[in-house]
């Protein structure tokens, strides 16, 4: 690998962390008053604070999360939605319509089809049943333009960056709009297909090199070089 350096100290499952570290369960748990890592991650100290960021792991739904789902099948009164998670989401046709479903005039096949991406909010989830989804909020619903790229959910914070620094770099250098969902799916809308290709490559570069330092500068240079090569 190169001269690139890890952006922190590698931590393995079972390792004890500093009691002041900022992290959320289930990736860090308390055992006998001690904070213990349950997944592989990076321990970092920056701006006077101590952080733990996982490197791998699936997305676990939380009520209130806005995510990008992929419709995988159609039921009698609902759609089943892949959330890039071990748990499959359920979106009811009544919620999608915002009113009761009328089979005499409503055709579910024309609303959402298998293979469609949809921006949804996790309405309820308690691990005893599949996550219940809703589109009844601002900017939710079927994605009809742009492209969706998928990354490991654990790498989402790196795509956003500290104080949104990486996300701002991506949008400025590619001239594209990015919606980064916490479940590892990113909706990208660009002025043309050439810029879209550059944006996707940049996102995959961030996923691949998320554990290294100096990444924002390298991504900026990569985008600028790719735009020159592609003349976009």
- The string of DSSP codes covering 34-67 is EEEE-S-EEEEEETTEEEEEESS------TT-EE
pLDDT of 25 above 80: no
pLDDT digits (tens, 9 = 90+) for 72-105: 999 889 999 999 999 999 999 999 999 999 888 8
* Residue 33 confidence (pLDDT): 85
What percent of the chain clears pLDDT 90, i.e. is strictly above it? 63
Output 33 or 42, whichever has higher pLDDT.
Answer: 33
* Residue 1 confidence (pLDDT): 38
Computed over every residue of the chain, the mean pLDDT equals 90
* Residue 198 confidence (pLDDT): 98
Q: Find the range with the poorest average confidence among 29-43, 85-99, 108-122, 177-191.
A: 29-43
CATH class of the domain at 9-54: mainly beta
Find all residues with CB under 8 Å of 167, minimum gap 6, and list them. Answer: 159, 160, 161, 178, 180
Tell me the backbone φ, ψ of residue 107, rounded to 5 degrees.
Answer: -120, 105
pLDDT band at 71 (very low <50, low <70, confident <90, very high): very high
pLDDT of 138 above 70: yes
Output 85 or 39, whichever has higher pLDDT.
Answer: 85
Please tell me the distance from the alpha carbon of residue 171 to that of residue 152, in angstroms, as a whole number. Answer: 20
Domains 66-142 and 147-230 fall in the same CATH topology:
no
pLDDT of 137 above 80: yes
Please tell me the distance from the alpha carbon of residue 93 to that of residue 134, in angstroms, as a whole number. Answer: 10
* Residue 3 confidence (pLDDT): 45
* Residue 171 confidence (pLDDT): 98
Task: Using DSSP bridges, classify how beta strands 34-37 and 28-31 pair: parallel, antiparallel or unpaired.
Answer: antiparallel
Output 10 or 69, whichever has higher pLDDT.
Answer: 69
What percent of the chain clears pLDDT 70, i.e. is strictly above it? 94
Q: What is the pTM of this model?
A: 0.80
pLDDT band at 6 (very low <50, low <70, confident <90, very high): low
The stretch 43-61 carries a mean pLDDT of: 78
pLDDT of 22 above 90: no
Domain 66-142 belongs to what architecture?
Beta Barrel (2.40)
pLDDT of 219 above 90: yes
pLDDT band at 2 (very low <50, low <70, confident <90, very high): very low
Percent of residues in the chain assigned helix, strand, coil, to nearest 5:
25, 30, 40
Listed by start position, the domains of the chain span: 9-54, 66-142, 147-230
Asked if residue 226 has a cis previous peptide bond (ω within 30° of 0), the answer is no
Which CATH fold topology does 147-230 show?
Ribosomal Protein S8; Chain: A, domain 1 (3.30.1370)
The stretch 151-161 carries a mean pLDDT of: 92
């Amino acid at each position: 690998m190169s001269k690139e350096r890890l952006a922190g100290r590698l931590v393995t499952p079972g390792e004890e962390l500093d009691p002041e570290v900022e992290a959320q369960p289930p990736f860090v748990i308390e055992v006998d008053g001690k904070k213990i890592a349950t997944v592989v991650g990076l321990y970092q100290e920056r701006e006077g604070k101590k952080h733990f960021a996982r490197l791998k792991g699936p997305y676990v739904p939380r009520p209130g999360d806005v995510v990008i789902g992929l419709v995988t099948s159609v039921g009698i009164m609902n759609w089943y939605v892949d959330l890039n998670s071990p748990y499959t989401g359920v979106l009811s046709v009544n919620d999608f319509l915002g009113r009761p479903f009328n089979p005499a005039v409503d055709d579910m096949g024309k609303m959402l089809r298998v293979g469609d991406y949809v921006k949804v909010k996790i309405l309820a989830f308690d691990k005893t049943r599949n996550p219940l989804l809703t589109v009844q909020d601002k900017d939710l619903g079927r994605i009809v333009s742009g492209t969706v790229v998928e990354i490991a959910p654990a790498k989402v914070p790196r795509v956003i960056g500290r104080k949104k620094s990486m996300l701002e770099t991506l949008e400025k250098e590619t001239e594209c709009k990015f919606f980064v969902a916490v479940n590892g799916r990113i909706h990208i809308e660009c002025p043309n297909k050439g810029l879209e290709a550059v944006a996707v490559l940049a996102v995959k570069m961030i996923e691949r090199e998320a554990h290294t330092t100096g990444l924002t500068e390298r991504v900026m240079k990569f985008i600028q070089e790719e735009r020159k090569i592609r003349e976009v």
